[in-house]
């Protein structure tokens, strides 16, 4: 009798006729030394039936009788109850009992292990079972050489970093934030293995990929490494394109959505029944988990990008402003359609005031970008441009021009009330009068800009009562 099926694999073949054979009326016979049995009845199995009985096809129970396990005394870390047993072959197994109501946690362990195995990540065998009437997960113990507690991130080798960063990718996929240094072990054969994924999806829906997020008392080894890197310390964090990391991302991309759902479904079903599942229902959870799977590359790219920006700042290097929006053909068209009103371009970093640049077109001269550079960033920009910083004159107009422009855009823009307030109108008039007496290139530029704004909206402006009687005083 067949006790268990290890794997079931679908092999593509040509569609051909299938015959039910019998020998002298007997459907069980030997053919070329093989015992063959044919059934006369043809069954059509639905997808729902397959899913309903999948745990029978791919059993989560261990391949041995747990009642024959022998308890072993062993000191174990962690706050949750654990027990160690030994089987007849001398292999040791860790049992993590849970209450009946929290049986879903054992299925979370199982799902994490099955997913890791599918993605080629070293992981212990994990089963769901009962010992002495208590449900829990049973996982094989490795021959451990040590863990990473007390290891300085700067002492890690490139090979170790590659494995740890790969484990970080996997833990983000399953929303596990318990990757402390004790849960990353080094085996005697040299392999690095992440263990104890019992928090998989525990904080799902509440978490973010950030150095500042840590829901546990002990920091994760990932945060320790990435923080050291961001602070400019001698930690050789590898790029996402590195072989081990990119290889895992490709496997995640290639994993069919249906298989991903199938692996997580037993956990999701039981957690939903216990009222402990993120997003409430099994279907809602699985859809959100799929969203995480599909967005892995984008989220990790942003995370690594932020790390690089922080590291450059810590090392005193110039950090380029990164647009929050794509500067593509569509954006350029909008700029040209906006004339001197231009389009706002939000940028990352703290070099520009309000993290904002104004992009506009001047006929015959092309596109211009304006923004207020913070004083502490000016020398960095001039250095980048190869210009001697020296001592520069303060700009006597910029603050007032900025106030006028902001007020103009707010009140006369698409969602504005169409009325320029009195204080803006007065400041506008004062600026134009003052700029008209200054023949510097800077003053001329500001004068053209403000005058152009007024002319564009001349027929639409509703001036505040008793403010000024004209848009701009005299010739410009």
pLDDT for res 341: 67
| Residue 326 pLDDT exceeds 80 | no
Give, in order, the Cα–Cα distances in Å from 190 to each of 34, 182, 193.
44, 16, 10
pLDDT in tens, 374-386: 666 766 666 666 6
Residues 199-213 have a mean pLDDT of: 86
Q: According to the model, what pLDDT value does residue 199 have?
A: 92
How much of the chain exceeds pLDDT 70, in percent? 72
Crossing angle of helices 398-412 and 422-436, in 10° steps, is 140
Helix or strand or coil: residue 71? strand
> Most confidently modeled of 31-35, 437-441, 452-456?
437-441
How far CA 35 is from CA of 3, 17, 38, in Å, comes to 18, 21, 10
- Which of 327, 322, 325 lies closest to 350, judged by CA? 322
Tokens 């995480």 sit at which residue?
A: 292
User: Which range (98-107, 201-210, 227-236, 443-452) has the least confidence?
Assistant: 443-452
* pLDDT above 90: residue 252: yes
Task: For residue 8, give both structure tokens.
Answer: 């079931």
Mean pLDDT across the stretch 285-301?
Answer: 95
Q: Is 365 helix (H, G, I), strand (E, B) or coil?
A: coil
Tell me the three state secondary structure of residue 469. coil
Of the ranges 38-42, 259-263, 444-448, the best mean pLDDT one: 259-263
Predicted pLDDT of residue 97: 94
- Give the whole-number percent of the chain exceeding pLDDT 90: 43
Q: How confident is the model at residue 345 (pLDDT cuts 50, 70, 90)?
A: confident
Higher pLDDT, 303 or 354: 303
- Strand blocks (E) in 160-270: 184-187, 192-194
Q: How far apart are CA 177 and CA 219, in angstroms?
A: 9
Q: How confident is the model at residue 401 (pLDDT cuts 50, 70, 90)?
A: confident
Answer yes or no: is pLDDT of 443 > 70: yes
Predicted confidence band of residue 327 (pLDDT cuts 50, 70, 90): low
H helix count then E strand count, the chain: 13, 15
pLDDT for the residue 311: 93
Confidence of residue 268 (pLDDT cuts 50, 70, 90): very high
* SS3 (DSSP) at 371: coil
Band of residue 388 on the pLDDT scale cut at 50, 70, 90: low
State mean pLDDT over 70-97.
Answer: 87
Q: Beta strand pairing status for 134-140 and 92-97?
A: antiparallel
Q: At what angle do helices 441-456 and 398-412 cross, to 10 degrees?
A: 10
Specify the 3-state DSSP secondary structure of 452: helix
Q: Quote the strand ranges of 240-370, DSSP E.
A: 343-346, 356-362, 366-370
pLDDT higher than 70, residue 137: yes
What angle (nearest 5°) sits at the alpha carbon of residue 222, between those of residues 221 and 228?
90
Q: What is the pLDDT of residues 5-34, one digit of tens each?
A: 555 555 554 445 555 566 555 666 666 556
pLDDT on residue 348: 62
pLDDT at position 174 over 50:
yes
Token pair 């002990």 is found at: 218
Hey, what are 406's tokens? Answer: 């902001």
- Higher-confidence position of 469 and 360: 360
**3-class state of residue 184 by DSSP:** strand
Q: Is the pLDDT of residue 322 over 70?
A: no
Residue whose structure tokens are 């934030």 = 177
């Amino acid at each position: 009798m067949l006790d268990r099926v290890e794997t079931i694999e679908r092999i593509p073949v040509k569609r051909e006729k299938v015959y039910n054979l019998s020998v002298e009326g007997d459907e069980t016979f030997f053919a070329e030394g093989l015992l063959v049995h044919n059934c006369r009845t043809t069954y059509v199995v639905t997808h729902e039936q397959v899913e309903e009985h999948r745990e029978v096809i791919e059993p989560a129970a261990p391949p041995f009788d747990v009642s024959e396990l022998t308890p072993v005394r062993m000191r174990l870390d962690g706050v949750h109850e654990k027990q160690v047993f030994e089987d007849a072959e001398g292999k040791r197994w860790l049992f993590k009992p849970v209450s009946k109501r929290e049986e879903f946690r054992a299925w979370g362990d199982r799902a994490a292990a099955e997913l890791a195995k599918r993605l080629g990540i070293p992981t212990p065998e994990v089963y769901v079972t009962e010992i002495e009437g208590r449900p829990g997960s049973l996982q094989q113990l490795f021959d451990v050489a040590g863990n990473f507690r007390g290891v300085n991130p700067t002492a890690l080798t490139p090979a170790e970093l590659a494995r740890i960063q790969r484990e970080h990718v996997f833990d983000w996929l399953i929303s596990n934030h318990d990757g402390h240094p004790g849960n990353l072990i080094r085996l005697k054969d040299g392999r690095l293995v992440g263990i104890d994924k019992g928090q998989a999806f525990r904080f799902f829906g509440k978490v973010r990929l950030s150095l500042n997020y840590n829901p546990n008392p002990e920091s994760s080894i990932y945060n320790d490494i990435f923080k050291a890197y961001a602070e400019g310390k001698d930690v050789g964090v590898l790029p996402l394109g590195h072989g081990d990391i990119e290889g895992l991302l490709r496997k995640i991309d290639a994993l069919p959505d249906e298989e991903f759902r199938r692996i997580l479904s037993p956990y999701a079903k039981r957690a939903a029944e216990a009222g402990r599942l993120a997003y409430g229902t099994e279907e809602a959870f699985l859809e959100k988990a799929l969203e995480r799977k599909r967005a892995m590359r984008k989220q990790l790219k942003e995370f690594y990008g932020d790390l690089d920006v922080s590291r450059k700042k810590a090392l005193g290097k110039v950090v380029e402003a990164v647009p929050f929006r794509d500067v593509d053909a569509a954006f350029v068209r909008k700029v040209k359609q906006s004339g001197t009103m231009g389009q706002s371009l939000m940028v990352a970093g703290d070099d520009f005031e309000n993290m904002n640049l104004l992009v506009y077109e001047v006929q015959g001269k092309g596109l211009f970008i304006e923004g207020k550079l913070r004083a502490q960033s000016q020398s960095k920009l001039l250095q980048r441009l190869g210009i001697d910083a020296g001592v520069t004159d303060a700009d006597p107009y910029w603050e007032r021009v900025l106030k006028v422009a902001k007020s103009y855009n707010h009140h006369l823009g698409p969602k504005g009330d169409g009325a320029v307030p009195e204080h803006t109108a007065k400041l506008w008039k004062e600026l134009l009068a003052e700029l008209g007496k200054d023949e510097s290139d800077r003053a001329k530029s500001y004068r053209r800009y403000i005058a152009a704004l007024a002319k564009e909206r001349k027929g639409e402006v509703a001036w505040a009562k008793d403010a000024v009687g004209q848009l701009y005083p005299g010739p410009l």
